[in-house]
Amino acid sequence: MMYTVYRKGKTRIQVCIEVRKKGARVEGHANNRKYKLISQKAFGDEIAIDIPKGATLSVLVEDGEAIGTVALGDELKGKSKELIQVLKNNNIKPIMATGDNEKVAQGVAEILGIEYRANQSPQDKYDLVTSLKNQGKTVIMVGDGVNDAPSLAMADVGVAIGAGTQVAIDSADVILTQSYPGDIEAFIELATKTTSKMKQNLIWGAGYNIFAIPIAAGILAPISITITPAVAAILMSMSTVIVAVNAMTLKLNN
C-alpha cells in the first residue's frame, strides 16, 4: 500500500515501460528519461521526512537526481486483529517471522500485539520452527512464498495461502483457497472438531467392544443369556453405523 508521494512540485509521471528489479531498486524508462526507485538503505543519505509507522522509505531518482520519496507499508487484512485474539483465546501463541526490516516488522507487530522476528531469511525461519519443535511445542506455520517452503515442510502443520507460490503450496499440509485471515480461524475450528470426533468414536468403539465381545463369547451363558451369530452380526454392524453417522455430523455442522 502506498502512503505518500512527494515530487518537489513537478507534474506526476507514470513509469510503465520495462520495469526491472535489481536488488534493492526498481528501474524503468519513460519520456526518454531513466527512473529508479531505490530503498533508503541503498540510497545511503539520511532523509528527514515523517512517514507512517511501519512504513519503509524509497527514493525516486530521475536521471541520477533524487526528485522525490515514496513511503510503502503493509496493509493488514480485514479482521487480522480479531484472528490474533482468537488464537490467543485458544492458547496459541502467534509469532510473525518476516523478511521485512526491523522498523516495518515492529510496526505491524505492535498493531497486532504479537511477537515478531525481523530480517528473517529462509534458514532463519526454518531454524525458528525447528527450535520451537525441539522445545516440545506443536508448530503451525502459515506462509505463501518460496522463502516459507522449508519452514512449511518442517512444521507439524504447514498452511499455505492459495494465492501464494506453487513451491509453498507443494510444501504445505493445508491449502487455504483465499487470502483471508478468517479462513485460518475456520481451519483451527474444523481441526478441533475433527479431533473431538475422533476421540468420541475411539471411546465409543472401544467401550462397545469391551462390553459386547464378552457377551458374544458367552460370558452370560451361565445365567441363560446368549445371542445368536445373526444378532451378533447385527450388533457389530450397528457399532460401525453409529461411528460413521457421528463422523458425518461433522460435515453437517460445517
Nearest to 176 by CA among 192, 158, 194: 158
Phi/psi of residue 87, nearest 5 degrees = -60, -45
Nearest to 25 by CA among 16, 35, 15: 35
Following DSSP, what letter does each residue of 18-64 receive, concatenated? EEEEETTEEEEEETTEEEEEEEHHHH-S-------TT-EEEEEEETT
User: Which percentage of the chain shows pLDDT scores above 70?
Assistant: 81
Q: 183 to each of 103, 143, 153, 157, how far by Cα in Å?
A: 28, 13, 20, 15
pLDDT tens digits, 123-141: 999 999 999 999 999 999 9
With bands split at pLDDT 50, 70 and 90, how would you rate the model's confidence at 2? very low
Q: Give 145's Cβ-side CA count (13 Å radius).
A: 8
Q: What gap in Å lies between CA 144 and CA 205, rounded to an integer? A: 40
Please report the pLDDT score of residue 97 as a whole number.
93
Is pLDDT of 179 > 90?
no
Q: Which amino acid, one-letter code, is at 54?
A: G
Q: What gap in Å lies between CA 90 and CA 79, rounded to an integer? A: 17
Give me the residue spans of the domains in the chain.
2-72, 80-185, 191-253
Average pLDDT over residues 76-100: 88
Q: Which amino acid, one-letter code, is at 213?
A: I
Beta strands 140-143 and 33-39 are unpaired
CATH architecture, domain 2-72: 3-Layer(aba) Sandwich (3.40)
With bands split at pLDDT 50, 70 and 90, how would you rate the model's confidence at 156? very high
Phi/psi of residue 247, nearest 5 degrees = -70, -35
Q: What gap in Å lies between CA 1 and CA 76, rounded to an integer? A: 10
Please report the pLDDT score of residue 54 as a whole number.
62
**Considering the chain, what is the average pLDDT of its residues?**
79
Q: Which residue has the higher pLDDT, 242 or 29?
A: 242
Please report the pLDDT score of residue 50 as a whole number.
62
Q: Which residue has the higher pLDDT, 203 or 25?
A: 203
Helix axes 181-216, 80-89, angle to 10 degrees: 30
Q: What gap in Å lies between CA 18 and CA 162, rounded to an integer? A: 28
Please report the pLDDT score of residue 1 as a whole number.
37
Q: Which residue has the higher pLDDT, 22 or 183?
A: 183
Is pLDDT of 27 > 90?
no
Please report the pLDDT score of residue 163 as a whole number.
67
pLDDT tens digits, 203-248: 988 888 888 778 777 777 788 777 777 887 888 888 888 888 988 8
Please report the pLDDT score of residue 225 as a whole number.
76
pLDDT tens digits, 36-70: 877 766 665 555 556 666 667 778 888 877 777 77
Between the ranges 9-13, 147-151, 223-227, where is the mean pLDDT highest? 147-151
- pTM: predicted TM-score of the whole model, two decimal places: 0.62
Please report the pLDDT score of residue 52 as a whole number.
62
- State in words which class domain 80-185 has: alpha beta
Nearest to 96 by CA among 34, 143, 163, 40: 143
pLDDT tens digits, 182-204: 788 888 888 888 999 999 999 98
Nearest to 143 by CA among 124, 168, 114, 179: 168
Contact 176, 162 (CB under 8 A): yes
Q: Which residue has the higher pLDDT, 253 or 151?
A: 151
Q: Do domains 2-72 and 80-185 have the same CATH topology?
A: no
